[in-house]
Each structure stands twice: as C-alpha cells, then as structure tokens.
C-alpha cells in the first residue's frame, strides 16, 4: 500500500542518493575498519532510517510494508552491514514491543528506538538452539519484583554495542515448548549482563555479533513484554512476516546492484577482441541474473501489498525469503564468474558481496526452515 506516491518518491530518491554518494564510496572503508563510520551513523539517524517501520506517533516514518520493501531495495544496493545497524530497530527490536508491549513499555523505549538514540538487539539463538528456537534453555526465575536471567545467547547482531535487548527466556520450566517462553526488555547496562568478544565472520564486516551472557541478571518484572508470562515466542513469531519480507527486499536490492556491476564490467572488459557482453555465454548469465532479480522484486511487492491489505502472508513471506535468499546467492556467483579472475580480487565489490550474501540463507530462518513453514502451511490449509 502506497499512501502518497509523491512523498514516497522523494524519500526513495533521497535514500538512493545517500546510497550512491555516501555509502557506496565508503564500502571499502567499512570492510577494512570493520565498523560503520561514525559520521554515516549520524546521517542515518538524521534521515530517520532507524524508524522506517515505527509509527509516526512514536517518532518514526510509519512506512507501510510495501513502502518499506521499496526503501529496503534501495538500501540493499550497498553493503548489507550498513542496513544491519538500524535493521533491528525497525524489526524485532521495536515491533515486538509495538505489537504486544504495554503502553508504558512503548512510551519508554519506542521513541528512542525510532531516533536511533537506543540501538537494539534481539536475543533468541543459543549455543544449542537455533532453528529449533522453542528448545531454548535460558531461564528467567521470578524473585520478588524482578526476574533473574541465566543463560547464553549466540550470534547476536549489534550485541557488542546494543543499548537494549529483547530476550527470550523460559519462565515455565515445566513447559518445554513455546508456551513456556517469555520475552523481556533488558537494558544493556543491567547487572549480570556480559558481552563476549566480537565474532570473526566470513563476511558482512561492520555488522557485529557476539555472545550475550546472563549470569544472575536481574530484570524488573515490569520489563516482561506485555506484562504476562508465556507470550514471548508468540510475540517473536508475529513479527517474522515483516522481517522476512524486509530481508527479501534487501536481497533484491543486492541482486540488482550485482547485475549492474556485472553488466558494466561485461561492457568495458574485452576478450577475443570484443566486449565480454558480446559473448553469448556471458549474455546468458546476465539474462538469468536480471530475470531472477525481477522475479524476486515482483514476489516481494505482491506479498507486501497483500500484508498491507490485511491478508495472512505467513506462507508468502517464507516463499519470498526462500526464493530471494537463494536467488541473490546465484546472482552473486554469476557476478564473480562474469568478472573472471578479477571477481576473486578484494578490490572488486563482487568479491565482498559474494561473501556477504551467504548469510541471507541463514538468518531470519534458514532456507530449510522456510521450506518446512511453507509445506506445513500448505498441508494445514488443505485439510
């Protein structure tokens, strides 16, 4: 749903220029320093990127799902680590509180998430539970007007820097399923919260992850999201549709950037006396990548519009995540192939993107989890 075409076009044009003029020229710096340049972080805050999907009443831009998808496609045309720093504030870091939080929780946290004053993080994955999230072992035991949290969370995006964490912990040890899990808002300076060293990753330099360790971490009882135990896992699931569509849109943006890089190189580089673009086997790779990127764009925008219309898009969101995450991997592989030996060199953007996009098939639910979700929903709807 696009509410005001003129305003949206202005926003997309502004973000597109920001990507071209500020972010793309700093991609190598981002990778080399393993950090988003501070001045760019401040510009992101000023542009409202930390509050894209947060309602205007809380200081955000209040984009619809379709509008957010179009913006995410533009942001996807640069290194994914730039998006990662503000992505959680728009996703599970704020949406869980917005959907199920108490009025007091919303008023305290959401406006500061929208401006980027607070950097958020989401703690679900553990050393022994990833895709099987309902089997998590972190515990939260009631002690007067506090809960005491113990456990370790793993691969937590923004973990080294986050000011506030949304933490899934088991409040009912007798309930081994999702119903025994509650969601907590934990401040980054809470006593008993410790951060492990930053992880060394294959790609996405500048997007930091680490273990978050809770050792008798005391959290006020008023910080349980929604003020009620046993709702945490359901809260997380409610925001997955939006998160999966957002990541799918980012994958489309990256794919479109890679198509552009491949086409430009193929036109400029000569082999056998003619441009690479004149060779049919190169043309086939360019055509396949263009086609798949277009298919991904069409899928995401259709699902986004349906979500804005109030449809249940759980299956479609998983279809988008499954296709787009796999698609951008194929496009990245072809981009390296089109570049030949140059594509294996760090001085070319396609080498970095080849490593960066591998993560898309893993987070927000692996490809295999999307397959399970899609098939289960199909069977459920048929019976």
Active site residues: 364
Nearest to 110 by CA among 207, 225, 208: 225
Query: Which sign does the torsion angle of CA 135, 137, 142, 147 carry?
Result: negative
Query: b/e map of 89-110 (b: 16 or more CB within 10 Å)?
Result: bbbbbbbbbbebbbeebbebbb
Closest CA to 253 of 313, 324, 336: 324
Place of tokens 């086609």: 291
Rounded distance, CA 102 to CA 104, Å?
A: 5
Lookup: tokens for 135: 């089997």
Q: How far apart are CA 47 and CA 227, in angstroms?
A: 33
Give the integer Cα–Cα distance in Å for 229 and 236: 14
């Amino acid at each position: 749903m696009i509410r005001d075409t003129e305003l949206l076009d202005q926003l997309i044009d502004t973000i597109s220029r920001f990507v071209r003029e500020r972010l793309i020229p700093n991609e190598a710096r981002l990778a080399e320093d393993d950090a988003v340049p501070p001045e760019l972080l401040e510009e992101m805050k000023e542009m409202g990127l930390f509050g894209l999907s947060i309602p205007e009443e809380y200081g955000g831009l209040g984009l619809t799902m379709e509008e957010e998808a179009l913006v995410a496609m533009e942001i996807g045309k640069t290194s994914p680590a730039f998006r990662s720093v503000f992505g959680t504030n728009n996703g599970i870091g704020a949406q869980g509180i917005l959907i199920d939080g108490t009025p007091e929780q919303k008023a305290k946290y959401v406006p500061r998430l929208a401006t980027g004053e607070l950097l958020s993080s989401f703690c679900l994955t553990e050393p022994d539970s990833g895709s099987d999230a309902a089997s998590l072992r972190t515990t939260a035991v009631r002690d007067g007007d506090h809960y005491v949290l113990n456990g370790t969370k793993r691969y937590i995006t923004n973990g080294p820097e986050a000011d506030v964490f949304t933490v899934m912990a088991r409040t009912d040890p007798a309930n081994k399923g999702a119903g025994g899990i509650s969601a907590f808002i934990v401040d980054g300076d809470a006593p008993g919260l410790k951060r492990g060293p930053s992880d060394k990753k294959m790609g996405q330099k500048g997007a930091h992850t680490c273990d978050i360790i809770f050792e008798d971490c005391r959290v006020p009882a008023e910080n349980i999201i929604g003020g009620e135990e046993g709702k945490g896992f359901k809260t997380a699931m409610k925001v997955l549709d939006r998160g999966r569509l957002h990541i799918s849109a980012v994958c489309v943006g990256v794919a479109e950037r890679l198509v552009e890089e491949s086409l430009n190189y193929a036109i400029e580089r000569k082999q056998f006396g003619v441009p690479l673009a004149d060779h049919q086997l190169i043309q086939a790779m360019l055509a396949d990548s263009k086609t798949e990127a277009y298919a991904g764009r069409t899928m995401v925008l259709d699902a986004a519009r349906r979500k804005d219309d109030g449809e249940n898009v759980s299956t479609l969101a998983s279809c988008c995540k499954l296709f787009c995450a796999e698609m951008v991997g194929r496009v990245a592989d072809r981009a390296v192939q089109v570049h030949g030996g140059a594509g294996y060199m760090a001085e070319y953007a396609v080498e970095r993107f080849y490593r960066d996009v591998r993560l898309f098939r893993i987070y927000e639910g692996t490809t295999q989890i999307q397959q399970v979700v899609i098939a289960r929903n199909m069977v459920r709807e048929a019976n």
